[in-house]
Amino acid sequence: MKMIKTRTFYKCPVCGKNSTDRGEIQRHFAQHTIIAEEIVYCSICGEGWYVNYWGERRARQKAAACFLNHKKAGDIDETAARAFFLSGGEFGYPTVREGKNDGT
C-alpha cells in the first residue's frame, strides 16, 4: 500500500480554472480572447491615452499636445527629471539644467 499519492493539476493561467486533464485545460485556454490595449504616452511626464478609448489619432494628438505644453510651460526639464525617477527610467530623462541662463 502506497503512503503517498500525488496528482498533477493543470491550470489555466488566465482565469485559474484547473483540471487533471491537460487537454481539457489546453482547449479551454485556447478559448480565451486576447485583448490588446495600446496606450500612447507623453514621453516627458508619462501620462498616457488609451487608443481604444480615444482612437489612435486623438490619442497621439493628446500625447503630442501634452509634450508641447511642457515645452510651452518651460517645465520640461523639471517634469522629465521627476518622471524619470518615478517611472524608473521609463519616461523623461535624468539631466536637469541648472536654472535658465538668462542673465539674472
Provide the β-strand partners of residue 49.
40
Query: Should residue 65 be labelled a site residue for Zn ion when binding is judged by CB under 5 A?
Result: no
In the bound complex, what is the minimum distance in angstroms from residue 29's beta carbon to Zn ion? Answer: 6
Closer CB to Zn ion, residue 45 or residue 59?
A: 45
Closer CB to Zn ion, residue 40 or residue 45?
A: 45
* Core vs surface per residue 25-49: b (16+ CB within 10 A) or e: beebeeeeeeeeeeebbbbbbbebb
Query: Should residue 80 be labelled a site residue for Zn ion when binding is judged by CB under 5 A?
Result: no
Query: Should residue 17 be labelled a site residue for Zn ion when binding is judged by CB under 5 A?
Result: yes
In the bound complex, what is the minimum distance in angstroms from residue 103's beta carbon to Zn ion? Answer: 29
Among 40, 49, 59, 66, the residue binding Zn ion under the rule CB under 5 A is 66
